[in-house]
Structure 1
């Protein structure tokens, strides 16, 4: 496919061009709408494009820039919203026939923050049904594909967002992470993916299943864009009583301060996870970059035991709550794997839930105490590179607890910040992610480490293998 001048620019780079009057939001949006439309039949990353709305918003942003009154540095820069998340006037379908086209009455808190900054919503990105798995296919919207290789999954559940970002449609896209759903697709597509501390970006509505483990964020191609997006979206909201207090902080300040003298732990298995040998090798090599940057990196012993026994009740019990809300006549239209979990979850008792919450508290306490001696924990993001699109999630061949999200889920349970950074490519040419985990609420520390690693890794966009995969499109 033909490229435009905007395809691989970061939001920070576009912002500078807008400030100098060298480009117009109208031109940027038109180019990104065109690329999104061209790629959609191949990637299937979008639920829909709001062409008219995006073009009208671009004209309004253009007027603000001409007057010297932009709403933020990102005024006029496009993004998308994951289709688990409300945009006023748009339906929220969750990839499910159990939903309908009723427009949302109001927007999610994170959507409001993007709109207040003048960002332009191109449309909604795909998700597995109700965000249930770390792959992105759904009964309603079909299969989303990885721009590195269309035969493979971009991960999930923010797979539409990762595919759009890695394909050069626009600089970053909204995602959320309740078990790895930002970090896993970032790892599978070579992106930067930060799961901020729980509550750093407010949640509204905040009454859905998993609301107490989900963090909002973006999938980006640069750490600077990630930090700038956090500036736009962080801060409390009275509609979310769990949101963290306001901080007088600009997350871009101190990004380049480095990690010299830091003490960093490395665990390739967390004590129980068996990653593919190729993944272990790439992550171990990536971790050594921190030593080159002046940090002390040491392998640490087992962190904690397998998660399934203690935490499956939270997962399947929450899905059972959703199942009870779906009319019986629609059950046959659910993703079979999701329906099986929902039905299993009906047997979860209050005692099961209570034991799981007790175990969660212990895990959070143990990791917080561990971080008293270490600035960061490094680990893989996933045990494998992106699997083929036909992979059955939570099957015997790809169990959730050992192949899907064993490295990422702990940080959702504890609420601490964690990120994925590109660790390199497998022999098959698929990306692998290095996970950078910080102490509770240490988002700035994680961002600083991400930027130090980025500066040393040599990873740049566009990636040749992506260009090759998209050449015929």
Structure 2
């Protein structure tokens, strides 16, 4: 039987599993439908690697397990995509840069990839990222510009831009990305999907990021319930990540239906320093009211919690960029590297140890302030982004007068500095039909609560259909 992509692109993981259990369809049929969709065109430029033979090999093995009544678990046969910043055995990790050799060897899986492989998930391919995932939009000299599936003239965001663009179209039930300053939440908000930056080290990572404890691994999907399914698999101890607790346990799927009355939610429209578009403000304010009604929560406005930590973040981030390029030594050919990356790397190389320690002190103060806030609150809610997606192929919006991507992402990078879990969930669209995201932040370790709240919010407001990119001269 041939399954058409239109029949499978909006299936939840639960529905996929149900189809496998009843024999309605097989993992091989589902995988083939997704591969046919990718082969039919990738106008968003979401993928930088597709390996149909390997995908179908994985799908055939899963099909045999289901037919024998011996699936490996809840994700067996589920199609997933992997950001090209994650080690994947047999597939190159290029990170959007000519500095990386596709020939490898590539002999190891990152922890999250290994857990998915062990669970029987089927890998559809690797998704695009800007060079070394350094910025909040997705374009590079090596892999080109990644575009927004709701409007191909607009950016997908970044750095997990390919992951978000694929997820928004329903290509793969879930995508795995990474987030060092908003790299899951920015594109998830721009593309209209759910994206979770888990508590730092809740999802093990390897190799260690040059951006240190700013960097997190996490999933993106159209449904918060699918985020829960995947988090139960990719969390847990891995000896390659010394920051992960030995006794790490997860209960995401089990926690989805918990009744959550009496939550204390603080709402900040601008964190005291963000310039937010009117349509974004209106949509997120309405979403906060829905949260209060659906959850029976107590919602209050909160005063600014901290000053904008952008200068300290730049020290930490630019130092990481300098570390990235320094690792390539004489192989660095400046003519092929993103000019913005070169600029911030050069700035990072000029920073002193004292500068870095001062930035860590700011980070420590932010962590303290957020810990104190959560003594009296369960959640903090903000817009995810202060604006909707702008022109593709630009680091900053045209005519904005801004220079760096961090200047239009004020709601994301502070919570990389604090390590708190943060999830974005679609909460509306602007007048041009571009998605708007609501960000929900919790105390350290409250990841299950965030996913449950996002899932209940989606139950209340419903899900938009998968994006169907329209033809565009920009993508031609």
TM-score range, shorter chain: over 0.9
Paired residue for 1:374?
Answer: 377
Q: TM-score, normalised by structure 2?
A: 0.94
Deviations 1:192-240 (A, max 9, x none): 111111111111112x311422221111011111001000111011111
Q: Which residue does 1:423 correspond to in 2?
A: 427
Aligned to 1:17: 19
Task: State how far apart, in whole Å, the 1-side matches of 2:81 and 2:157 are.
Answer: 17
Written as runs of structure 1 = structure 2, the 5 A alignment for 1:60-459 is 60-101=61-102, 102-206=104-208, 208-293=209-294, 294-326=296-328, 327=330, 330-393=333-396, 396-397=401-402, 399-403=404-408, 405-459=409-463
Counterpart Cα distance in 1 of 2:468 and 2:323: 43
CA contact (8 A) 1:264 1:374 kept: yes
3-state SS in 2 of match to 1:16: helix
Measured in 2, the distance between the counterparts of 1:312 and 1:287 equals 31
Separation in 2 of the partners of 1:452 and 1:7? 22
Structure 1 position 448, deviation (Å): 1.8
Structure 1 residue 51: deviation in Å?
Answer: 0.3
Gap regions ≥5 residues in structure 1: none
For the 8 Å contact 2:164–2:175, the answer to whether it is kept is: yes
Change (3 A) 1:219 1:329: closer
TM-score (norm 1): 0.95
Of the structure 1 ranges 451-460 and 50-59, higher mean CA displacement relative to structure 2 is found in 451-460
Q: Is the 8 A contact 1:154 1:188 kept in 2?
A: yes
Structure 2 CA distance, aligned partners of 1:140 and 1:192? Answer: 28
Post-superposition shift, 1:245? Answer: 3.6
Structure 1 CA distance, aligned partners of 2:315 and 2:10? 43
Question: Gaps (5+ residues) in structure 2?
Answer: none
For residues 113 and 157 of structure 1, what CA distance do their matches in structure 2 show?
Answer: 23
Q: Distance in 2 between matches of 1:470 and 1:108?
A: 36
The 8 Å contact of residues 151 and 469 in structure 2, kept in 1 or not, is answered as no
SS in 2 for 1:212: helix
CA gap 1:328/1:115 in 2 versus in 1, 3 angstroms = closer
Matched position secondary structure for 1:30: helix
Alpha-carbon distance between aligned partners in 2 of 1:329 and 1:95, rounded to the nearest angstrom: 14
Give the aligned length: 466
Is residue 197–residue 416 contact of structure 1 (8 Å, CA) maintained in 2?
Answer: yes
Distance 2:179 2:341 in 1: 18
CA deviations over 1:65-118 (Å, ceiling 9, x no partner): 111111111111111211111111221111011111123231111110110000
